[in-house]
Amino acid sequence: MSQAQIQIFDTTLRDGEQVPGCKLNTEQKLIIAEQLEHLGVNVIEAGFPISSPGDFKSVEAIAKLIKKATVCGLTRAVKKDIEVAAEALKFAKYPRIHTGIGTSDSHIKYKFNSTREQILERAYEAVSYAKSFVEDVEFYAEDAGRTDNEYLARVCEVAIKAGATVLNIPDTTGYCLPSEYGAKMKYLMENVKGIEKAILSCHCHNDLGLATANSIEGVINGARQIECTINGVGERAGNTALEEVVMILRQHPYLNLDTSINTKEIYSTSQLVSQHMGVYTQPNKAIVGSNAFAHSSGIHQDGVIKKRETYEIIDPKEVGVTESAIVLTARSGRAALAYRAKKVGYELTKLQLDEIYANFLNFADKKKEIDDQDIHHIVETSSVYQQIISA
Is 142 within 8 Å of 107 (Cβ atoms)?
Answer: yes
CB of 205 to ligand KIV, least distance (A): 6
Among 10, 12, 13, 15, binds ligand KIV (CB under 6 A): 15
- Asked if 168 is part of the footprint of ligand KIV (rule: CB under 6 A), the reply reads yes
CB 82 within 8 A of CB 73: no
203 versus 295: smaller Cβ distance to ligand KIV: 203
Spacing of C-alpha 205 from chain mean position: 11
Site mask for ligand KIV (CB under 6 A), range 183-222, x = bound: --------------------x-x-----------------
Using CB under 6 A, which of 103, 172, 263, 281 touches ligand KIV?
Answer: 172
Measure the CA–CA gap between 77 and 68, rounded to whole angstroms.
28
Angle (CA) 115 99 110, round 5°: 30
Classify residue 66 by burial, with Cβ atoms within 10 Å: 0-12, 13-18, 19+: buried
Residue 302 binds what, of Zn ion, ligand KIV, none (CB under 5 to 8 Å, by partner type)? Answer: none
170 part of the interface to ligand KIV, by CB under 6 A: yes
Nearer to ligand KIV, 103 or 324 (CB): 103
The SS3 call for residue 363 is helix
What count of other Cβ atoms lies within 10 Å of the Cβ of residue 389?
A: 11
- Measured from the CB atom, is 15 or 17 closer to Zn ion? 15
Maximal CA-CA distance, the chain: 87
Gap between the terminal Cα atoms of the chain: 58
Among the listed ranges 166-174, 215-223, 283-291, 342-350, the one in contact with ligand KIV (CB under 6 A) is 166-174
Q: Judged by CB under 6 A, does residue 174 bind ligand KIV?
A: no
Return the residue of 142, 157, 217, 244 that touches ligand KIV, per CB under 6 A: 142
Does the protein bind ligand KIV through residue 175 (CB under 6 A)?
no
Q: Is 12 in the site for ligand KIV (CB under 6 A)?
A: no
Residue 143, amino acid: D
* 281: partner contacted, choices ligand KIV, Zn ion, none (Cβ within 5-8 A by kind): none
Min dist. Cβ of residue 228 to Zn ion (A): 10
Give the range of 168-176, 207-215, 298-306, 363-371 binding ligand KIV by CB under 6 A: 168-176
Q: Is 15 in the site for Zn ion (CB under 5 A)?
A: yes
From the list 9-17, 37-45, 46-54, 249-257, the region that binds Zn ion by CB under 5 A is: 9-17
- Which candidate, 175, 232, 165, places its Cα nearest to that of 200? 165
Buried b (16+ CB within 10 A) or exposed e, 288-321: beeebbbbbebebbbbbbeebeebbebebeebbb
CB-nearest residue to ligand KIV: 170
CA dist., res. 332 & res. 99, Å (int) = 54
Establish if 48 lies at the interface with ligand KIV (CB under 6 A): no
E strand or H helix that includes residue 202: strand 199-204
Say if residues 17 and 47 touch (Cβ distance below 8 Å).
yes
Residues contributing to the site for Zn ion (CB under 5 A) = 15
Residues of the shown chain interacting with ligand KIV in the complex, contacts defined by CB under 6 A:
15, 140, 142, 168, 170, 172, 203, 205
